[in-house]
Every structure is written in structure tokens, then in C-alpha cells.
Amino acid sequence: MIDNLVPAAAEPALAGEAELLDGVAAGAQAAARLWRMDEALIVPSRVAALAGFEPAAAASLARGWPVLVRATGGAPVAQFHGMLNIALAYRIGPGNPWSIDDAYRHLADLLARALGELGLAVETGEIADAFCPGRYDLALGGRKIAGVAQRRKRATGGGQAILAHACLLVEGELARPFDALAAFEDAFMPERRWRPGAATSLASHLGRESVLDIVAAIFRDALRTTPLPG
């Protein structure tokens, strides 16, 4: 497992995640990564192709929030120091029926089991008015705490390499990243439907200011003891 909780510059952090997938596709062993990233807005390529993206990205950079493009689906996400990123990279052999939903369920179940160690009963399902909504959102009390995404590529010798990624809202004030994300989207995208109040952090839910070290330790144990598919 690759574990570095010192916040990394956004561009190298994304490059390191892509290297996990490339390595597994080329024949490397399955791997997991746990990390944090400096403040940035991460967008899928479909958003970067929209009219008005470039000036909106430039304005966001001037506000201190660089915009980077990630080769996954979904919607824009704000990265900040209180967000914990978890990635699994593994290979599925030819003929293995492991579907997109299987990969999402595997990651969501891992997250839910780990957070159960804190006594938290995590719900899975889309939170329609939360940022970057998806069918495998994780929530507490109906408020989003994590989203998942994945990317696949053909593996050398057949089969597929899979990168399954989760962004977990652990601690810190959510107003700044959400304000930055809203300002960027409102500049050029269709009417925004998400609202900040539809998400929460683990720290807020637990009534504590700082829980990152505790949460990271729980996920380290979960990643060491949970076999990866393939």
C-alpha cells in the first residue's frame, strides 16, 4: 500500500494515481493508495470540453483554486486538505464478468465496513442534491460523505486494469471548497443543482474537530486485510 498523508500538489497527485492504473495494466501487482491533495478543483474531460471552461478555470486559478482534468466520469469535485483519497488498482483477467457496478460495490462496501469501526452506519445510494451525485454515494443521515469513481483500460495480455477511487470528506470547514466549486461551475455550466448542505464531514458527524489520523489508521487496516479482486 502507498500511504502518504502529507498533502501533495494536485498535478503530481493525479499523475501518481494514473501511474497506479498504468502499472497494473502493464503487469504490476494490485495496489492501494491513501493520500491527500492540495486545494484544487478536479473535473472530468467532458466538463473541460464545454464552452466557457478556459476563462472559468483561469478565474478559479486567480482565486487560488487551480483546475485539473481527470480521466474519469462524474462531475467536478473540490479537493482540499480535509479530504482523504483512497484508490484501488487491480487487474481482471479475460472473461471475468466483473462489471462496473461490481467495482463500485466492492469499494463502497470496503468504505462502509471501515467506517463501521467508528460505530457509523453508512448508507449507500445517490444523494441527488449533493455535489457529484452517483448511485454509490456514501452518506450519514442522508448527507453525503464520500463519492466514488473508476477508470478502466485494457491490460497487457488481455483483461482489464481497474482504478477505483473514493473521495472522503473527513474534516475541515466545507464552506471554502464548496464556495470555490460553486463559483467555478456557475461561471459557465448549466444551472447548478447541488447544494452544500447535502454533504457533511466525518468530523462534524462525530462532533470532533480532527479525526484524520483515526480515519487513516482504520483505512490502512482495511486496505491491508481486504483482498483485491482479480
Count Cα neighbours of 83 within 13 Å in the Cβ-side half-sphere.
Answer: 28
Going by their DSSP bridges, the two strands 2-8 and 31-37 should be labelled as parallel
Count Cα neighbours of 94 within 13 Å in the Cβ-side half-sphere.
Answer: 4
Write phi, then psi, for 200 (nearest 5 degrees): -150, 170
Residue 6: per-residue pLDDT? 87
Q: In whole angstroms, how far apart are CA 142 and each of 33, 116, 125, 126?
A: 28, 16, 9, 10
How far apart, in whole angstroms, are the C-alpha atoms of residue 1 and residue 111? 16
Q: What is the pTM of this model?
A: 0.94
Write phi, then psi, for 14 (nearest 5 degrees): -65, -40
| Cα angle value 45/145/29 (rounded, 5°) | 60
Residue 27: per-residue pLDDT? 95
* Of residues 68, 54, 83, the one with CA closest to residue 12: 68
The rounded average pLDDT for each run of 10 residues, N- to C-terminus, in the chain (230 residues) is 83 91 96 94 94 98 96 87 96 93 96 94 94 95 95 94 96 96 95 93 92 94 87
* Amino acid code (one letter) for 28: A
Q: How far apart are the first and last CA of the chain?
A: 17
Contact 86, 168 (CB under 8 A): yes
* Of residues 110, 120, 127, the one with CA closest to residue 211: 120
Instruction: Spell out the residues 6+ positions from residue 138 whose beta carbon is closer than 8 angstroms to its own.
Output: 108, 111, 112, 115, 122, 123, 124, 144, 145, 146, 147, 148, 166, 168
